[in-house]
Chain A
Amino acid sequence: MPEMSNKKKQFNEKDYEILLAEMDKTAKLLVRRDLELNRVNAELDKKIYQLKEDENKLKEMNDVLEIRLQAKTRELRENLSSLDHQIGERTRKLENSKVALMNILEDFRKQKILTEEEQKKNLAIINNFPDGLLIFDNENRLSIINIKAKEYLGISQMDYLYHESLSAENIPEFKNLMGIIGKDIKNVYKQELVIGPELIIEVSVQEYSEKGIKYGKFVILHDITREKKVQSLKSEFVSIAAHQLRTPLSAIKWTLTSLLDGDFGKLNDEQMKYLGKTNLSNERMINLVDDLLNLSRIEEGRYIYRTTVASMENIINAAIKSTELKAKEKNIKISVKLDKNLPDIVVDEEKIKLVVQNLIENAINYSQKKGSVNITAKNDADKRELVFSIKDSGIGIPEEQKSRIFSKFFRAENAVRAETVGSGLGLFIDKNIIEAHKGRIWFESSLNKGAIFSFCIPYDKKDEQFFDKF
């Protein structure tokens, strides 16, 4: 201590003052430091506040961001689900399209199979057709030949139905057939080809086309062996039947006419009258048998037989002559008016005469006594036809029976009443004869006012198949 005191004692005033001043300085410094600290503190506070603010702001921003994020996420999620949906939809649609496509493909496949089957079927039909069929292309080369055709022609080496365009003319088995149809496969219709005693073939050629496009021709070989046999049997039968029927009829006719001619002595009036009537009845019977014969010949298709150049005038006159007796009996006047320039016609003269005779007989039979019959024949130069007409003053044809007047065995009611005997074949035969000559037959009539029957025959005979029907 002493030191201290010493020291103290050592302090002089000056020192004190210095100390004080130092102390002041230090106090100031402290204050200042305090102030500064305060300032720093305040500053810090401010900073802290700011930081807090910033933190809050950040927080706020964070919240906003959070919200946005959530919104975005939601949006995204939504988008995603919508996308999912869309993709699902697309996928479904694609699936559907695929199925549809598969269906279409399947349909196509089925269609193809069907078409192929159809084609096979068609070929099978052609191949198994009961007629022989040969199909030629536009170059007249054989492309298809079926089983029957091979059988008929005696071809064994051709195994296939299809052929790569074959020239038929070089094959020996085709020789007979080619003789009929020719290299150029010309159109023939029902031509007979006799292959052997037990095989007769009918050959026809037909073009085949669709909507104007020609694909070629097919040749049909139809076996008519049986028909030919039946035809000849029928012909034989008719010939025998006609002979059997005609024998007694001709014996009666000859006896009656000899009696009427006075070959067995002169007859008295009554005998003449009854024998005359009997003779007429017999003539009717003869006509009936002839009609039946004609009918069977028409049905056999060999009725029109011999055609010659004939004069219509001669035919009419001959027909009138053969009906003279009947006309006289009923006191019917037959007048004839013919064009002066009547052309000749190429016809089966006997048959046309039969038509004219039938029509005259009808006109007489169905007219009252003292009636009139007018015959005309005209040249229709425009149509190049000869037109025959016969007009009577008879009973006429009932309206409702007109459509059947040309039918086989048909007789109109009033005709049956007026004339009990008649086969109902006359007009049927007439129609067949006229149509076989490529002509037409028609009539106009009203009940009780007579009838006009007409027919026309073309007189140009260039057509090769003029009588093709018979």
Chain B
Amino acid sequence: MAKKILLIEDEEVLSNLLNRKLEESGYEVTVAFDGEEGLAIMKKQKPDLILLDIVMPKMGGFEVMENMNRTPGLELKQLPVIVVSNSGQPVEIDRALELGIRDYLIKTQFDPQEVVDKVKKILG
């Protein structure tokens, strides 16, 4: 059975490109365009991995992660999260690592293929 990935990303181009790559690699992808939507989806149907943007409308990535850690079953310890963000200031990276993320990727430093490779490393 295909592993389920929840992609929370407000930028349509990036979302589409990544979605396409992940599906090609055999994953089942659900897409959310903001944090609120993402949180609602993962509560209904728990994914195997989450790709999470930080700066988004309605609810940002950090709020999503804090929410997850407060929700039994969705804690970052259990549910692997890879942050894919445009901004990558050390304070932000540290804060995200403290919350329990698996990896922090800065969009300008990685291309879609490298993101998919990171996902593969975690999900096998």
Contact = CB atoms under 8 A, between A and B. Distances in A.
Contacts of B20: 258, 263
B11 A251 contact: yes
B2 to A, nearest CB: 20
A257 B111 contact: yes
A254 B14 contact: yes
Contacts of A243: 55, 86-87
Contact of A258 (B17, B89, B94): B17
A246 B107 contact: yes
A257 B113 contact: yes
Give the dominant DSSP class at B's interface. Answer: helix
B124 interface: no
A254 B107 contact: yes
A255 B113 CA distance: 11
Contacts of A469: none
B13 A251 contact: yes
A121 to B, nearest CB: 46
Nearest to A283: B108
A119 interface: no
Nearest to A290: B108
Contacts of B13: 251, 254-255
A407 interface: no
Given A243-B55, A263-B21, A253 B86 contact: no
A239 interface: yes
B21 A247 contact: no
A254 B90 contact: no
B107 A258 contact: no
A243 B91 CA distance: 15
Contact of A257 (B86, B91, B94, B112): B112
Given A257-B113, A261-B113, A263-B20, A250 B108 contact: yes
A305 to B, nearest CB: 4
B112 A254 contact: yes
A286 interface: yes
A243 B112 CA distance: 18
A393 to B, nearest CB: 30
A316 to B, nearest CB: 19
A99 to B, nearest CB: 76
A272 interface: no
Contact of B86 (A235, A246, A261): A246
Interface in B1-53: 11, 13-14, 17-18, 20-21, 24
B87 A239 contact: yes
A358 B21 CA distance: 32
- Interface size classification for chain B: 20 to 34
A286 B111 CA distance: 13
A413 to B, nearest CB: 30
A463 to B, nearest CB: 22
B113 A247 contact: no
Contacts of B112: 254, 257-258, 263
B90 A242 contact: no
A297 B89 CA distance: 9
A418 B91 CA distance: 38
Contacts of B113: 257, 261
B108 A249 contact: yes
Contact of B89 (A239, A251, A261): A239
A232 to B, nearest CB: 11
Contacts of A306: 90, 94
B90 A251 contact: no
Contacts of A254: 13-14, 17-18, 107, 111-112
Contacts of B108: 246, 249-250, 253, 286, 289-290
Nearest to A239: B87
A270 B52 CA distance: 36
B87 to A, nearest CB: 5
Interface string B66-102: 0000000000000000000011011100100000000
Contacts of B18: 254
Contacts of A239: 87, 89
A246 B87 contact: yes
A248 to B, nearest CB: 9
B100 to A, nearest CB: 18
CB-based closest 7 A-B pairs: A250-B107, A257-B111, A305-B90, A246-B86, A251-B13, A286-B108, A243-B86
29 contacts: A235-B89, A239-B87, A242-B86, A242-B87, A243-B55, A243-B86, A246-B86, A247-B11, A247-B86, A249-B108, A250-B14, A250-B107, A251-B11, A251-B13, A253-B108, A254-B14, A254-B111, A255-B13, A258-B17, A258-B21, A258-B112, A261-B111, A263-B17, A263-B24, A289-B108, A305-B90, A305-B91, A306-B90, A306-B94
Given A254-B18, A257-B113, A258-B17, 18 more contacts: A242-B86, A243-B86, A243-B87, A246-B107, A247-B11, A247-B86, A251-B11, A253-B107, A254-B112, A255-B17, A257-B111, A261-B113, A263-B17, A263-B20, A263-B21, A289-B108, A305-B90, A305-B91
Interface of B: 11, 13-14, 17-18, 20-21, 24, 55, 86-87, 89-91, 94, 107-108, 111-113
